[in-house]
Structure 1
């Protein structure tokens, strides 16, 4: 039987060999996602992700080499204990790097077919275009976008520039999840892109302060609540100026989960209470478009969720005190000049009148079928096409199947999976 130090060193050497070999195997990125999945990405996107993941793995490999060197040079009991601590640290680093790689592998692998790859490439373009339209005016670079599909009700984003799980690298792309049920109505993409724009410009923080200052006369606690929701209000506003009423109808479907969901007010949640969030979107439509189908949507919403059924506690009181303030909140959000936007309001950078229903329908009438089949018009008007088909789905229920087919076809053309006319 060996002495204790030798026994410990033997097991330590075995573990170091195991984790070092595991780290080395991570370098083959084609083991994470198939070559066809990688090839489904636009070249610049795939290259950016590959370069970043390669850098992350190379750093881990250098740490593995250092760990092996430390073991080889360890001679005393104290040295062995030091290597043991280094091994435990390395295990944690490995798992974090693995989490980073697996996130991208899972996201890329959702491009399971030519059709799905085309739809998601279209989503990449839509999200990127929505950000570029504002960031170009501010002289700021627009991050690359990787969209992927997943289950659930709502979209989400892992913002470019945030630190990843490996804790040593920054996310090189804006990775946006779109849910399956909304793939053919992806206005939520634009909401998530709004989060990225707010991150780059500092808009959420400025809007938070503006709401607090603009609601000083509100009852106690109301201004603080709205201030805490600024990041989601900003993203909703960003989606509205790009896609108009389509974003509001889509939001309705996501948050319409019954009274326990719609009236819920969990402390610390950055999302406005669902009841107020839908009505805030309606107020945006009313201020910029006047009367329209959003009025019936609001009527249905308040009919299904009468305020008297909200709890009599903090939540119910907050809802009742907030409703009269919605016009002011919309005005602050959309019309107040912001340092983040070079001293201009959001609507001066992205004019929501461009996606007013009458404007969208006039565009469709003017261009006819070419709007949906010509690559020139699809590329030029991609965001307004998203707004238009979203409007059609919200207002022409009897033509839903036809509209979905149109939406899919122009998105596939935008994503390069269907030949344009």
Structure 2
């Protein structure tokens, strides 16, 4: 039975309505007002715009194909139910595309918020720097940050599947609002970046065979084998390892802040959770830190954490498992440090993370030098700055008030510097293009642009001197 003319007309009207709404999905560059310093980095902006434009183009083609089908001879051999089925799937694809738009809109809209927008752009710079490794090991994707509620951070990695289908063109890091701006933001941020780096290097999969080779030596059921649990938790552990290797004790301090929960949650073991038991996770972070940056502070932090959540009172079987896991930590950390995956061309991760620059004594010397010459701090890599601040906090040399104040200034500086450098690079590129067209080596306009887009003088590190001194140790 052929589709009734009225049904065909109704379906055609609905399809044309989809096209009308589709035309109202504008590029974000035309919709979102923000100061230049808060803007996404060009790579992230172009990747998002290309993805949305491709979705619009594909959907428009599908709608037009549906309208042509309604007028085609094939529709004469179909019934109303077939027409409705085709349109329903078309509308589902349209809603999936809007889900992508809403996802990126949530990220970009916050860039128009006063102060928060610029700070988010500064965090983008931090992410790009902490994801970078010396050498040609992977092509780092663009990273964008946004704020959301909740106690923990999260990442939607680049290349993963988006809701409704399609690959995510950028890495999207969600930062809890309660972490802005102060202690622990580096821990949450760099841990999530560690997930992206681990995926690019395939660290979790390359570690699994080595961990599996250690299983079975304990005897008993797999649930009582510590190495069974290390394999279960390996994806989160490599992200924690990345964070400690990049920002030092700041990672562990932030982890303690996030995981300071009621005792029931800190000591709860779940076979479905990829995160280690919070109690063990902090202990492992301290052990990784002590292996990378030997110092008494790590044992002091682990004893403090143990005093917060003593294991007394647990069921005997659970207590025995936790003690076995704790005893296996040194061997597990040695395995992590010695691991040389094919993706790193025979190197280990500590060899590439410049850990000699993040030894506690070196970080303390840098903090003292920056107090005497604050402008030098603005020249340092962001991950090193966070490592220095984390060390200063645990040493009692930096107060929470001063840390929050200075971090806000640093995030603003990184965002502004990145914006000006991007403008300068674009101006120089335009100048070269003009020179190729006109035959001039360097057109006068390019010199003007270079002068106007030179980075601004470094902002001074102004804060009250008494705030730089923490409580007595």
Q: Name the CA distance, whole Å, in 1 between partners of 2:153 and 2:384.
A: 20
SS at match of 1:186: helix
The change in CA–CA distance for 1:329 and 1:345 in structure 2 (over 3 A counts) is: same
CA deviations over 1:240-275 (Å, ceiling 9, x no partner): 000111100100111121122111222221111111
> Within 1, Cα distance between the matches of 2:274 and 2:366?
37
Confirm or deny: 8 A CA contact 1:256 1:262 kept in the other structure. Answer: yes
1:290 to 294, 300, 319: 294
Query: How far off is 1:289 after superposition?
Result: 3.1
Contact 2:187 2:250 in 1 (8 A): yes
Task: Give the aligned partner of residue 360 of structure 1.
Answer: 363
TM-score (structure 1 length as normaliser): 0.89
CA radius of gyration, larger in: 2
User: Which residue number corresponds to residue 101 of structure 1?
Assistant: 101
- Aligned-residue offset at 1:311: 4.1
Deviation at 1:288, TM superposition (A): 3.1
CA distance in 2 between counterparts of 1:349 and 1:216 reads 32
Provide the C-alpha distance between the structure 2 equivalents of 1:246 and 1:411, rounded to a whole number of angstroms: 17
Equivalent position of 1:56 in the other structure: 55
Report what 2:375 is aligned to. 373
Distance 1:195 1:71 in 2: 47
Q: Deviation per CA, 1:50-87, whole angstroms, max 9, x where unpaired?
A: 12211122111111111222223264251544332221
Q: Which residue of 2 aligns with 1:180?
A: 177
Deviations 1:164-213 (A, max 9, x none): 2241x322211111112223333221111111111111111112222222
> How far did residue 37 of structure 1 move?
7.4
Could you tell me whether the CA contact under 8 Å between 2:111 and 2:117 is conserved in 1?
Answer: yes
CA distance in 2, matches of 1:64, 1:7: 19
Cα deviation for residue 414 of structure 1 reads 1.0
Deviation digits for residues 193-243 of structure 1 (CA, Å, limit 9, x no counterpart): 111111111111112222222354235422221101111110000000001
The within-5 A match list for 1:272-351 is 272-312=276-316, 315-351=318-354
The alpha carbon displacement at 1:99 in A equals 0.9
- SS of the equivalent of 2:174 reads strand
Please state whether the residue corresponding to 1:323 is helix, strand or coil: helix
Give the Cα–Cα distance (whole angstroms) in 2 for the partners of residues 111 and 141 of structure 1: 26
Work out whether residues 389 and 398 of structure 2, in 8 Å CA contact, stay in contact via their aligned partners in 1: no
Residues 263-307 of structure 1, C-alpha deviations (whole Å, 9 max, x = no match):
122222111111110000111122233343332322221122122
**Residue 40 of structure 1: aligned partner:** 39
Deviations 1:105-159 (A, max 9, x none): 00111223352222112211111111112xx424321111111111111111111
Q: In 2 relative to 1, CA 100–179 (structure 1 residues): closer, same or farther, beyond 3 Å? A: same
- Matched-pair contact (CA < 8 Å) for 1:262–1:275: yes
Indicate conservation of the 8 Å contact 1:392/1:403, yes or no.
no
Q: Name the residue aligned to 2:260.
A: 256
Q: Tell me the secondary structure at the aligned position of residue 176 of structure 1.
A: strand
Residues 208, 231 of structure 2: 8 Å contact kept = yes
Give, in whole Å, the separation in 1 of the partners of 2:340 and 2:142.
Answer: 28
Q: CA-atom RMSD, angstroms?
A: 2.5
The answer to which of 335-344 and 69-78 deviates more is 69-78
Q: Which SS does the other structure have where 1:35 is aligned?
A: coil
How far, CA to CA, are the matches of 2:199 and 2:345 in structure 1? 15
Structure 1 pair 368–194 and aligned structure 2 pair: CA distance change class (3 A):
same
Q: Does 1:159 align with 2:162?
A: no
| Alpha-carbon distance between aligned partners in 2 of 1:6 and 1:47, rounded to the nearest angstrom | 44
Unaligned runs of 5+ in 1: none
SS of 2:172's partner is strand
Corresponding residue for residue 223 of structure 1: 227
Instruction: Choose from 237, 256, 275 the match for 2:241.
Output: 237
- The corresponding residue for 2:18 is 19
Distance 1:318 1:87, change over 3 A: farther
Residue equivalent to 1:199: 199
- Contact in 1 for aligned 2:152/2:176 (Cα 8 Å): yes
